[in-house]
Each structure stands twice: as structure tokens, then as C-alpha cells.
């Protein structure tokens, strides 16, 4: 699929990809959030993971625009401060982030996890709305937004729909 022709088209692609996952999550019972997916994590853990990767859009876009790197502890919306003490300033591999997100979600009420995802998604939409038309044709920006959003939603919708 080719890149979007406008900011509006990019926003619609992200929203269209998000709708089925949102609808699936909205249809869950409270009990379902602790159900394990075939990937091995609970629905709550998966949604915290989705929220985290949406949260990475802002610092990544800032980097693409040549802004100074954002300190890890300054932008992260989970509990990176404790983690940063353990690993220093290096960006950890994805599996480390994923494990940390699962740990963050475990003791939390599903409504808190969904609220975090809601906030992360709203911020992605704000970022998209703030793009110039030139930004909407920047392959790095489009790839990041589609990877952390559109492609990611489909992957986890499939996982959510498949019984363990």
C-alpha cells in the first residue's frame, strides 16, 4: 500500500485500523481482561503494550524533525524512572519494553489500562493533526505512525480474537 496523500488520509488510515480493535475491547467483559492470549500475555498486558508503542510516536517524531532526544524518564507514561536506574540511558530492546508493560498492567484495573491506551491514542491523533502535508509524505514519519498504530492494531486484533 502506498503512503497517504494527505494528513487527513493518514489520520483516517490510523483511525480505520484502530476501530476494529477498539470495538473488540469495548465488547469484553471485565473477566476477559485477565484472559491469556495466544502470545501468552493477558488482554490487559497486551493493551498496555499497545499504549506504550503509541506513546513512542511523540519522541520518535521529534527525533525525525531534528529535535534533541527526549530524556527517557521525561516522556514515558509508565514507570520508567525505576527502570532507567537499572539500565542507564540506553533505549532497551523491544522485548524488555514489552515485559515491563506487562508487569505494569498486571496489578491494574482494566479501566486504568484502557484509559492509558485512550490517552496514548488521542496523543497520536493530535500529532497527526499537527503534521504538515510535507510531514505526511515523509516516509520515516508515515512508517512510524503506521507501524505503531495501523499494523500493530491488526496484529493484536487477530491475537485477541483467537482463543488460547
CATH code, 103: 1.20.120.450
Domain extent for 90: 7-161
What are the respective helix, strand and coil percentages of the chain, to the nearest 5? 70, 0, 30
Query: What average pLDDT score do residues 111-116 get?
Result: 96
Query: What average pLDDT score do residues 153-164 get?
Result: 78
Query: What average pLDDT score do residues 33-60 get?
Result: 91
Instruction: Give tens-digit pLDDT for 115-150.
Output: 999 999 999 999 999 999 888 888 888 888 888 777
- Which cell goes with 60? 520518535
Contact 128, 145 (CB under 8 A): yes
Q: Return d(Cα 155, Cα 135) in angstroms, integer.
A: 26
- Tell me how many domains the chain contains: 1
64 domain residue, yes or no: yes
1 domain residue, yes or no: no
On the CB side of 82, CA atoms within 13 Å amount to 5
**What's the pLDDT score for residue 2?**
74
2 domain residue, yes or no: no
Query: What average pLDDT score do residues 74-96 get?
Result: 59
129 domain residue, yes or no: yes
77 domain residue, yes or no: yes
Contact 149, 18 (CB under 8 A): yes
Question: How sure is the predictor about 65, in pLDDT bands with cuts at 50, 70 and 90?
Answer: confident
Amino acid at each position: 500500500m502506498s503512503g497517504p496523500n494527505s494528513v487527513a488520509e493518514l489520520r483516517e488510515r490510523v483511525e480505520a485500523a484502530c476501530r476494529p480493535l477498539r470495538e473488540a475491547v469495548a465488547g469484553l467483559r471485565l473477566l476477559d481482561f485477565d484472559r491469556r492470549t495466544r502470545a501468552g500475555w493477558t488482554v490487559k498486558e497486551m493493551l498496555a503494550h499497545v499504549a506504550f508503542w503509541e506513546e513512542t510516536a511523540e519522541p520518535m517524531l521529534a527525533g525525525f524533525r531534528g529535535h534533541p532526544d527526549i530524556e527517557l524518564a521525561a516522556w514515558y507514561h509508565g514507570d520508567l524512572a525505576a527502570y532507567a536506574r537499572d539500565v542507564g540511558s540506553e533505549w532497551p530492546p523491544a522485548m524488555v519494553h514489552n515485559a515491563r508493560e506487562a508487569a505494569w498492567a498486571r496489578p491494574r484495573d482494566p479501566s486504568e489500562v484502557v484509559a492509558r491506551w485512550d490517552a496514548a491514542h488521542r496523543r497520536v491523533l493530535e500529532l497527526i493533526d499537527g503534521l504538515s502535508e510535507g510531514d505526511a509524505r515523509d516516509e520515516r514519519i508515515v512508517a512510524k505512525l503506521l507501524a505503531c498504530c495501523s499494523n500493530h492494531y491488526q496484529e493484536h486484533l487477530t491475537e485477541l480474537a483467537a482463543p488460547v
